[in-house]
Amino acid sequence: MRAAGTSLLLWLIALPASAAIQLSSQCPPSFEKRAGVCILLSPYRSYPSLGGAGVGGLRTGLPAMREGFTPAEIDLGRYLFFDPVLSANASKACASCHRPSRGFADDRARSIGADGRELARNAPSLWNVAFLRRLQWDGRARSLEEQVAGPLYGSHEMGNRPERLLASLNAIPEYRRLFAQAFPDAGRGVRAAHVYRALAAFESSLISLNSRYDLYAHGVSDALSPAEIEGMNVFRSFVARCAECHTPPLFTNQQIAVIGMPDGPGRPFDPGAGALSGGEALRGGFKVPSLRNVALTAPYGHAGQFRTLRDAVAFYTGGRGHAVPAGEHLNIHWHIWEPRLSARELDRLVDFLNALSDESFRPTTPSVVPSGLPVPD
C-alpha cells in the first residue's frame, strides 16, 4: 500500500496546475452575511415549532441547523466535494455518489465505491442535511464532520486513510493556498479538521425550502394544483399518517424507524441501526429520510428497493410487517398499520411528493478542481 500511495502522490504532483482559484467572499443564495459568517434566511424561521396546527401543519418552524460558516469555508468545501483526490485512488469524489443532477443522491440502487464494488446501501440525498441530528442510514453519525469522515475512510467507499489524504492535499500548492485562505491556522499545513469543516460547511449550504409546496405553505393559494392539494390532504390524514414520520417542513421527524422494508431479492437482511452497540431493539431500523426533492432521487429505500415513487408509497398500504423475512421478529414502528389506500389516493400522494422539488439554490459545479483531476458530471 505504501508503494501505491507514493505512486499516487507522484502522479498528483505531476498533474498540470489548475488556473488560480479564488474562493468566494459572498454567501450562497438564501444566506445573509452577518459578522463575516453565513446565516440562513427563510420564512420558516419566523414560525413556531408546531405552527399551531399539529403534526403536518403548513407553518411549522425549522429545527436548529449548522450555520455560521464563512463564505471561504463553504466555497473550499465545494471544490473538495467535487475533487476525486479525496479518494484513495483518485477515482471517486463525494459528487460521484451525491450527484447534484440527481438531488445530491444517486441513480443507482446502491452506489459503486472506489474499489469498483457495489455498496450495501443507497446514497441518501444531501439536501437540507444542515438540519439533521442523525446522519447515514443507520443514524450513526451525529455531526456533519463525523458523517463526511465515514465515506472518506470507508474501505468500500472512498477507501482513503487520514495520513494519505493529508499527504495528497498538502502536495498540491493550490490546496495549500486555498486552505490557508479559509483557515488562518492552515498556513503550516492542511489538517484533517480543516477538511471535515470545509466539507461540512459546503453541505450545510445545500438548502431546499422553495418548492411549490413552500409557496402554498407561505400563503400562495394557487401554488399547488387540485390533485396536489388532494394528495397533501391524504399525506396529512390520520388514515395514511405519512406526516407523523415525514413531518414538515423538513418532511422527516429525524427518528430511526423499523418499518419492515424488504432488502431485495437475494440480498442478506440488513440490521440497520440494530447493528450498532445496544441497538438490538432497532434491528431493521433506518433513519426516516427527508422527502425534499424525493422525485429526483429514485430508486428508493435504504438499498434502492423501489424503482419508482409509486412503488415506494404502495409498500405502506401492504399491511403491517408484510415484507419481514421469515425468521425475523422485528419491533415494527407503531405508526405502521394497514391504511388500505386506494389507487387514486396513491396516485395523488405521488402528485404531492412531486411538488416538494426545489433546486433553485443548487450550487455551481466547478469546471476545474485544484488537483487538476476530472470533475464528476
| 261, amino acid identity | M
Please compute, for residue 251, the number of CA atoms within 13 A of its CA located in the half-sphere on the CB side. Answer: 23
What residues contact residue 96 under an 8 Å CB cut-off, 6+ apart? 84, 111, 376
- The pLDDT > 90 percentage for the chain reads 84
Homologous superfamily of domain range 2-204: Cytochrome c-like domain (1.10.760.10)
What integer pLDDT is reported at residue 339 of this predicted model? Answer: 92
- Domains 2-204 and 212-354 agree in fold: yes
What is d(CA 364, CA 103) in angstroms, rounded to the nearest whole number? 14
Nearest Cα neighbor of 349 from 309, 322, 317 is: 309
Q: CA 357 to CA 372: how far, in whole Å?
A: 33
- The pLDDT-based confidence of 3 (bands split at 50, 70, 90) is very low
Question: pLDDT for 58-101, tens place per residue?
Answer: 999 999 999 999 999 999 999 999 999 999 999 999 999 999 99
For the chain, the 3-state helix, strand and coil shares in percent, each to the nearest 5, are: 35, 5, 60
Topology annotation, domain 212-354: Cytochrome Bc1 Complex; Chain D, domain 2 (1.10.760)
Query: How does pLDDT run across 277-290, given as a tens digit for each residue?
Result: 777 899 999 999 99
- Lowest average pLDDT, out of 15-24, 181-190, 254-263, goes to 15-24
State the pLDDT at residue 52: 46
Measured CA to CA, the distance from residue 83 to residue 96 in angstroms comes to 9
Average pLDDT over residues 44-61: 77
More confident residue, 11 or 181: 181
Question: Would you state the cell numbers that stand for residue 268, as one nine-digit string?
Answer: 442478506
Distances in whole angstroms, Cα of residue 214 to Cα of each of 44, 82, 133, 223, 279: 9, 29, 22, 9, 36
Which stretches of 27-70 are DSSP H helices? none
Q: How many other CB atoms sit within 10 Å of the CB of residue 89?
A: 16
Residue 19: band (very low, low, confident or very high) from pLDDT cuts 50, 70, 90: low
pLDDT > 70: percent of the chain: 93
Domain ranges of the chain: 2-204, 212-354
Q: Yes or no: say if 282 and 273 are a contact pair by the CB < 8 Å rule.
A: yes
Q: Tell me the chain's radius of gyration from C-alpha atoms.
A: 21
